[in-house]
Amino acid sequence: MDIYDQEKDRVSVLDLPQLYKRPTAAELLATLKRLHLKPFCWDDTEVSEHDRVEEEGLPSYLTSIIASSLAWITDDVVKEQIWEAASARLSERSGRSAIPSVSRTFVIPATPATKAVSLTLHEPSLTDDNLGHKTWLASFLLAKRLPALRPYLPSLNKDSSQTSRPRVIELGAGTGLVGLAVAALFDVDVHLTDLPTIVPNLRSNVDTSLSNAADSAKGRISVGELDWSDLSCSEHKAEIQYDLVVAADPLYSPQHPAWLVAAIELVLKKTDQAARVVIELPLREAYMPELEDFKTRMEALGLLIEAEGLESGFDDWESAANGRTEVESMVLGLLTLAAIPTTIGVAEGISSTKKKQDDNEEEDPTVAATTEAQRMRKFHLHCYCDGPSSSAAAASITGGQVILRDEKVRPLS
């Protein structure tokens, strides 16, 4: 009786063909085929046959097949097939860095405004620390969130008949999931960039996507090299700037905040107040200093956070027991009155509030003292004088707090 034809209860490794019973080559090959681990794609709920076999004991079972001479099987070619299959099943259970090349399909769910998008990406085996050959959780989360971010991305909401199609660039595109999702969801031109060692596989994934896309989507995606550590040698042309910059999981070295911000400064269309940067960042404890450094540098560049969110999910780099990763998404925009409360905007808001309070004070004089004190707390500043105090007035405010009122500076009593 075939154990896989029974009810979908999980079965033990002891129910698999045991070597001491000398199973046939066909039985072993069929079992090893059924134990194949389908490449992990986070939202995949399909139950495959290997999910019905307890993982406990499987590595030892596979190792015993590899170590066995399989003496009762006379065909040497078939023996090699069995050993290779067992080795492949064992590597699939040895962590992401041991898995051979795989192709995974990622599905971006449909929304009321967008269609569902299915993208199949090739991931080469990880060699020479080329982490860009893996599709990371942050990329998938950002790709799924893109439709919800559209209200925060004014360049995507312009009338396409009146303006040229928006330009989007992905920095550190890796396997290309985010950039390809942008191209599929929005009417934009997308340029995907990464290191020279990553670009060949990235370009292959783009070519595959274009071959499967509708004719209207072709020609809207391009690929190029961009090394953040040496922007002077990049393929990027300084005169080409982008309305939207996207990046997912870009910080995993102390140098990356400075390099990434420099790359953003190079490519972002800073003359357009509608330009935005969208970053998806895993909150890994070891890289929190890099995250804070990045935020500080972005603010110095004139970019402030307009919207941010936090979610968590499992990455396939670690085991399910400890692989949950919190991910922060940020939309950063240029300093603008329309989106950021600048000094002028705050002053206008306070002036409006003051007018309402003055009207109330005229009706009820008892509230005047309270509202006056509240207004003054909004305007006090720390003031420190450099150099010797040249007057008694300067000496009176050195190291203290002052109030700016009626165009005069007064000590805060």
pLDDT at 390 over 60: no
Of 328, 350, 349, which Cα lies nearest the Cα of 405?
350
Q: How far is CA 212 from CA 41, 188, 206, 221, 231, in A?
A: 20, 18, 10, 13, 33
CB-count exposure of residue 229 (10 Å: 0-12, 13-18, 19+): middle
Tell me: the pLDDT tens digits for 369-383? 554 444 444 444 444
- The pTM (predicted TM-score) of the whole model is 0.65
pLDDT at 27 over 80: yes
Tell me: the pLDDT tens digits for 57-86? 888 999 999 999 999 999 999 999 999 989
* Cβ proximity of 405 and 398 under 8 Å: no
Give the three-class secondary structure for 103.
Answer: strand
DSSP state of 163: S
In terms of average pLDDT, the best of 4-13, 118-127, 344-353 is 118-127
Question: At 330, which helix (H) or strand (E)?
Answer: strand 324-334
The pair of structure tokens assigned to 93 is 């259970």
When the pLDDT of each residue in the chain is averaged and rounded to a whole number, the result is: 75
Question: Helices 177-185 and 137-149: crossing angle, nearest 10°?
Answer: 20
Tell me: the pLDDT tens digits for 179-215? 999 999 988 999 999 999 999 999 999 998 887 765 4
